[in-house]
Amino acid sequence: MWDASERTLYSMIAFLFIETLLELYLTMRQIRVYKQSKTVPKELKHVMNDVTFEKARVYGLDKAYYDIFKMILCDIVILQLELYFGFMAIVWTRSVEISTNIGLNPKSEIHVGCLFALLLNAIGVLKDMPFKIYGTFVLEEKHGFNKQTAGFFVKDQIKAFLVSQTLTIPIAAVFIYIVQIGGQLFFVWLWAFVAVVTLVLITIYPVYIAPIFDKFRPLEDGELKQSIHALADSVKFPLGQLFVVEGSKRSAHSNAYFTGLFGVKRIVLFDTLLVNKGLPEDDPSLTESDKGKGCKNEEVLAVLAHELGHWKLGHVSKNIVIVQVQMFLIFLAFSQLFTYGPLYEAIGLPVGEKPILIGFIVIMMYVLAPYNTMISFAMTVISRKFEYQADAFAQELGYAKDLGNALVKLQLDNLGFPVYDWMYSAWNHSHPTVLQRLDRLKSYTQGKEQPHKPKSQ
């Protein structure tokens, strides 16, 4: 019979394997939809031609096949082998050896833990790099979305790694220290520490971190800027600054968002959201493929009305509260399980050796995997509900038609496929499909007098 460590190991492996099989099954269901869908849905026939529909279908099919390959290789082969042969234990042992050679204290769990975090992150980046390169320069390039040069990509990856380590290593050190000195209620102090760090990062990210990776410029004075301020004033949104981010240097996909937890906030528009990237039609930087793409001013306002709906309805605050509750429960579970010896023996550590950082990683990623899966699905359900509510908010401001047009235009520009298997979509999509949202917007407006939009001053 298996001992406790073997039962622990095989239980983790079994659940991860079953979860991956579920993901594969759902993806295969969607692949069947891609293969069987040959005509444009009747709701989109007036805006989507057969050529665009076919491009979107092939793009979706290519991404689905890539997802299957990645799941089989990473989640079934590599991950299972890492668990079985004790990959984390090997990295920990190597961290102890290296700490001796570079002048760190091998008996200090903080010193070794920080080095372990660095090595684990570096190995993770190296493992993921071939997939990033393929996804960017083969898959996205093939379908016309990649805008990155090799040099831009390399610099981007280096900056991302350095920023990540600058944040991760100090947090890991404090994490270990709190567990060591926190007593029986250390999980409360851990939760408070992580909550503060999370709020600080949310606050400083748009101001200090995001500009490291992308160039931001103030939105030019004009009708759109005046209209956005009028829209913000109409819902009492404390708008401070309006920026356009040059996302087109990275990708042709579009987006918009607002940032700031307290007081004055900023709205950020991707240049790909705006017609001609927000530039004059004769601007020399515009390529032929860029011209004409993007949303008209009214459509941009509709997208922002949707985003402001998330703020007005408290979705951002609710999500933060939900995440903090989940973190508290995870830390509580960690406090009850991290002294369990077979947990560490299961991933290859000697009897009696219980590194805090490894204990947390194993518990959070593997032991709590069933719980995480259920919570992830629940959050997807909540997110889809929030999206419908934000659409309804935009409709109440008079933007139902423009929002519908914007959703369709973004769908076309991003080569989003409009038809999805219901089970695949329910499990994977945090947003309802474009057809579902259009149908809901139609139901909002039936029998209702359209409200007046806020006018710019």
Q: At what angle do helices 369-396 and 315-337 cross, to 10 degrees?
A: 170
Question: What gap in Å lies between CA 219 and CA 226, rounded to an integer?
Answer: 10
Question: What gap in Å lies between CA 12 and CA 244, rounded to an integer?
Answer: 45
Decide: helix, strand or coil at residue 390: helix
Tokens of 415: 């080569």
> 299, 307, 345, 387: which one is catalytic?
307
Phi-psi map region of 144: left, alpha, beta (phi>0 left; psi -120 to 50 alpha): left
Residue pointed to by tokens 């710019």:
456
Question: What gap in Å lies between CA 169 and CA 283, rounded to an integer?
Answer: 44
CA distances from 121 to 82, 97, 117, 409 (A): 15, 18, 6, 39
AA letter at 259: T
Tokens of 266: 């900023």
Which residues are CB-neighbours of 361 under 8 A, at least 6 positions away? 88
Q: Is the dihedral of CA 379, 367, 67, 39 positive or negative?
A: negative
User: For this structure, is 307 an active site residue?
Assistant: yes
Q: Of all helices (H) and strands (E), which one includes residue 36?
A: helix 4-36
Enumerate the active-site residues: 307
